[in-house]
Amino acid sequence: MPRGSAYDEFHEEQKLGKVYDSRLMKRLMRYAKPYYKLMAVTVFVLLIMSGLKILQPYLTKIGIDRFVLFSNAKLDLSDTTDAFIREVRERYADGLLPLAEDGWFLFDHNDIDPGDAAKLNKLGVLGKEKFYVVREESYPEGAERDTIKAIIARHSDKFEATSRAGTVIVSYNNIQEIPKEDLDRLRVNDRLGILYIGLIYLAVLIVTFGAQYAQVYLMAWIGQNILFDIRNDVYRHLQSLSLKFFDSNPVGRLVTRSTNDVNVLNEMFTSVVINLFSDLFMLIGISGMLLYMNWRLGLILLALAPFIMVVTLLFRIKFRDAYRKVRVKIARINATLSEHFSGIRVIKIFSREKENIARFREINLDYYKANMYQLVVHALFSPVIVLFRNIGLGLIIWFGGGQVVQNLLPLGALVAYLSYVEMFFQPINAIAEKFNIMQAAMASSERIFQILDTEPDITEAEKPVAIEPVKGKVDFENVSFAYKKLPDDVEWEWVLRDVSFSVEPGESVAFVGETGAGKTTIISLLSRFYDVQKGRIRVDGVDVRDWDKGKLRKNIGVVLQDVFLFASDIKTNIRLNNEAISEEKLEEIARVVNADRFIGKLPNGFDEPVTERGSTLSAGQRQLLAFARALAFDPAILVLDEATANIDTETEQLIQEALWRLMEDRTSIVIAHRLSTIQHVDRILVMHKGRIVEEGNHQELLAKGGIYYKLYQLQYKGQEV
C-alpha cells in the first residue's frame, strides 16, 4: 500500500472550512423544510423546559427566604431630616411594618433593594437582629387563632407589639426559648408554605420530565427523517452517475459520504439548529435572572463574559486543528481496513499478515495520538471554563456572603444565585461545542453536495428512442475512445483508435487480442457506460446516445470477466430483484445454462445463501450463474467477457454447452479466451493496441500467419479440443 501525500489526498479529506456558510446552510435547510412545523414545536418545548429549569432555583429561594429563615430586621427611620430616609419611608410605605416605637419599622429583606439596604446599613439605622412576624389574621378564625393568641399571651415577654393590632414580632434569640410545640403551632403557615413549594417543585420536575421526553423524541425523529432523506438522495444520485465517476472515487469514500458525513449532519440539525435556541434562551434567561435578583452581583458575573469569549475563541482554533487530525487518521484507518479485508486472500497467499499488522499498528498509533491530542485540548478547555465558573462562584460567595452576613441579602437568594451561576456556564460550554459541530457539518455537507452536484456525464437523450423488439444489429463506425487525457491534459490517451465493425442480427463474433488491447472497452461502449470521443456506435441503426439508456441496456445482456455476486441467495442473484421472473422460469433458465446441476446439489437449492462476492462458489459455478442472470433478462444482444480462469474439463463442457444455447438466435459478441469458443463463432476480430487488425474465421486467420497466428501459438496451443 503506497503511502505519502498523493495517496493521502486520494483517500482522506483534510478540508475543514467555515463554521457557517449561508449557501450550504440554505441547501441543507431545504431538507429540514418538511419538518419546520415539528421543529418549531420542539423549540417551543425546549423553551418551556428552559423556563422551568430557570424557575427551579427561584423556588428554592422562595422556600428558604419566605418559609425557613427569618428575613425581617428593624429599621430606625425616625430621623426624617435625612432625605434618603424620607425617600425610603415613602418608597417602601406598603412593605414597612410600623413598630410600637415611633419612627421604627420592620422590613422584609426579600422586598428591599440590596443597594438601599447597603445605604441604610451605612447610615447605621439597620438592626442586626432578625425577627419573625406573627400576624393573628393569617391563622384560621376560631380555635386555631385562639391557640395562637394563648401562646402569645403565655410568652408575652418574648414578643414585642407593633403599632398594627394583632401583629407581634419575635426576635430570633427569643424564639429559641419558646417550647417546640408552641413554636410548631406558630409556624404552621410556614410549614404549609414549604409543602406548597415542594409540591410546585415536584410538578415542575414532572412537567420537565415530560417535556424532556417529548423533546428528545421529536429531535430524534426529525433528525433521523432528514438523514433518511439525504441518504436516499445521495444513493439515488450515485446510482445515476456513470462508471467514469466510480473509476475515480474509491468505494470507501462513497461509503463515508453516505454514512459518516450524513451522520455529522444529524448532529447539526438536532444539537445545533434546535438546541441553539434553548442555549441562547437559557443564557439570556439566566442573565436576566441574575440581574433581576441582584444586579450588582449580576454585573460582577457578566464582567467575566469577555474573558470567557476570548478563551473560547482561542480554544476553537485548537479544536479545529485537533478535529481535522482525527478525521484524517480515522479515514486512513477505514481505508486500510476495507482494503486489507477485501484483499485478505492476497495477504494470506503472500503471508503478509505480520507486515500488515505492523503497518496497521503504525496507522493505529497515529490515530491514537490524534485522539489523545484532541482529548488534551478538550481536557484543557473544560477545566478553564470550570475555572471561570469557580472564579464566578468565589466572587459571588465573597460579595454575596458578605451581604448576607451584613443582613443585606437573604440567604436563600444567595443559594439560588449560586445555582444560577453554575447554570450560566452550561450553555456557554454548549455553544462552544456547537462551533465544532457546525464546522464538521459544513465540511461534510460540502462533500455531500459535491456528489449531488456531480452531473451524470452519460445523459439521457432529449427524445430517447426505443426500438421494440430489438433485432440486434450492431455497428461501430470509426470509433475512437479514451478513458482520460494524457498527463499534459490536452491529448487524449486513446484506448480505441478508429474502430469500425458490424455485427448482423443473430451473428456471433469473437474478439481476441493481447491483454490491454481494448476488448473489454468495446463492450463497455456498446452498453454506453462511457461516451465515445469520435465516431459513433449504433444498435439497430440508432446511435446509442439517442437510445433510451435503460431500454438499451435491458436489451444487451452482459456477462463480465469477473462475475460479481451480491450477498444474498442464488435466486436473487439470478433475477436481481425482478419479481416478474417466476420460480418456474428460474428453474428453466438454470436448466438451459446447465446451472441446475450444481444448484440442485446445494442444501437449499435456489435459496442457498451466497456470501459477499460469491466466495463460496467456484469460478465455473459463478460463470454459470452469470449466464443464468443474462438469460433471465432474455436480451437481443449477448455480450460476454470470458473469464480467463482455467476451468476443469467437465465444467468447461458445461459452460460451452450453456454458451451455445445462450448464443443461439442472438447477436453475440464474445471476448474469447477459449479455443472452443473461438471455433464456434461466425467471425473473429483480432485487436491490437486499440485497433482491429485482422478479421475472419479461425482457419482463415491461421492461414494468414499474422497476429492471430502468433496469439494462437502463445495462448491456445495445447488447449486443443
Q: How far is the CB of 254 from Mg ion (least distance, A)?
A: 24
Contact 413, 237 (CB under 8 A): no
The phi and psi torsions of 356 (rounded to 5 degrees) equal -70, -35
> Residue count at the site for ligand ATP (CB under 6 A)?
13
189 binds Mg ion (CB under 5 A): no
Q: Going residue by residue from 102 to 141, which x/- string records binding to Mg ion, judged by CB under 5 A? A: ----------------------------------------
Q: How far is the CB of 510 from ligand ATP (least distance, A)?
A: 13
Contact 610, 567 (CB under 8 A): yes
Neighbours of 524 (CB within 10 A): 19
State how far the alpha carbon of 700 is from the alpha carbons of 674, 681, 709, in Å: 18, 13, 10
Q: How far is the CB of 520 from Mg ion (least distance, A)?
A: 3
Q: Is 184 helix (H, G, I), strand (E, B) or coil?
A: helix
| CA-based nearest residue to 190, from 96, 73, 64, 72 | 64
Q: Going residue by residue from 247 to 286, which x/- string records binding to ligand ATP, judged by CB under 6 A? A: x---------------------------------------
Q: Going residue by residue from 545 to 564, which x/- string records binding to Mg ion, judged by CB under 5 A? A: --------------------
Q: Sign (positive/negative) of CA torsion 477, 482, 488, 489?
A: positive
Extended strands (E) in 550-709: 556-559, 568-569, 609-610, 637-641, 667-671, 683-688, 691-696
Q: Which is closer to Mg ion, CB of 389 or CB of 528?
A: 528
516 binds, among Mg ion, ligand ATP, none (CB under 5 to 8 A by kind): ligand ATP
483 binds Mg ion (CB under 5 A): no
Q: Which is closer to ligand ATP, CB of 427 or CB of 513?
A: 513
Q: How far is the CB of 715 from ligand ATP (least distance, A)?
A: 10
Pairing label, strands 534-539, 474-485: antiparallel
Q: Which is closer to ligand ATP, CB of 197 or CB of 701?
A: 701
Q: Which is closer to ligand ATP, CB of 234 or CB of 525?
A: 525
517 binds ligand ATP (CB under 6 A): yes
Q: Which is closer to ligand ATP, CB of 516 or CB of 541?
A: 516
519 binds ligand ATP (CB under 6 A): yes
Q: Which is closer to ligand ATP, CB of 170 or CB of 517?
A: 517
Q: Which is closer to Mg ion, CB of 12 or CB of 641?
A: 641
Residue 303 DSSP symbol: T
Supply the DSSP string of 639-671, one letter for each residue.
Answer: EEE---S---HHHHHHHHHHHHHHHTTSEEEEE
Gap between the Cα atoms of 489 and 92, Å rounded: 87
518 binds, among Mg ion, ligand ATP, none (CB under 5 to 8 A by kind): ligand ATP
Q: Which of 223, 400, 412, 518 binds ligand ATP (CB under 6 A)?
A: 518
Residues 226-255 interacting with Mg ion (rule: CB under 5 A): none
| CA-based nearest residue to 408, from 286, 292, 298, 296 | 296
> Residue count at the site for Mg ion (CB under 5 A)?
1
Q: Is 637 helix (H, G, I), strand (E, B) or coil?
A: strand
Gap between the Cα atoms of 184 and 178, Å rounded: 10
Q: Which is closer to ligand ATP, CB of 177 or CB of 247?
A: 247
Q: How far is the CB of 701 from Mg ion (least distance, A)?
A: 20
Q: Is 577 left (phi over 0), alpha (psi -120 to 50) or beta?
A: left
221 binds ligand ATP (CB under 6 A): no
Contact 623, 655 (CB under 8 A): yes
Set of cell numbers at residue 647: 476451468
10 binds ligand ATP (CB under 6 A): no
Contact 671, 475 (CB under 8 A): no
* Residue 687 host element (H or E): strand 683-688
Q: Which is closer to ligand ATP, CB of 483 or CB of 660?
A: 483
Set of cell numbers at residue 706: 499474422
Q: Which is closer to Mg ion, CB of 56 or CB of 520?
A: 520
Residues 137-176 interacting with ligand ATP (rule: CB under 6 A): none
Q: How far is the CB of 470 from Mg ion (least distance, A)?
A: 25
Q: How many helices (H) does the chain have, and how many strands (E)? A: 28, 18
State how far the alpha carbon of 406 is from the alpha carbons of 67, 68, 415, 483, in Å: 20, 19, 16, 86
Set of cell numbers at residue 551: 431500454
Q: Is 513 left (phi over 0), alpha (psi -120 to 50) or beta?
A: left
The interface region with Mg ion, picked from 30-38, 317-325, 516-524, 540-548 by CB under 5 A, is 516-524
Set of cell numbers at residue 11: 483517500
412 binds, among ligand ATP, Mg ion, none (CB under 5 to 8 A by kind): none
Q: Going residue by residue from 477 to 516, which x/- string records binding to ligand ATP, judged by CB under 6 A? A: ------xx----------x-----------------x-xx
Gap between the Cα atoms of 263 and 227, Å rounded: 7
Gap between the Cα atoms of 206 and 247, Å rounded: 57
Q: How far is the CB of 521 from ligand ATP (least distance, A)?
A: 3
520 binds Mg ion (CB under 5 A): yes
Residue 441 DSSP symbol: H
The interface region with Mg ion, picked from 1-9, 468-476, 520-528, 537-545 by CB under 5 A, is 520-528
Contact 411, 69 (CB under 8 A): yes
Q: How far is the CB of 484 from ligand ATP (least distance, A)?
A: 6
264 binds, among ligand ATP, Mg ion, none (CB under 5 to 8 A by kind): none
81 binds ligand ATP (CB under 6 A): no
**Interface positions with ligand ATP (CB under 6 A):** 247, 483-484, 495, 513, 515-521, 561
**Interface positions with Mg ion (CB under 5 A):** 520
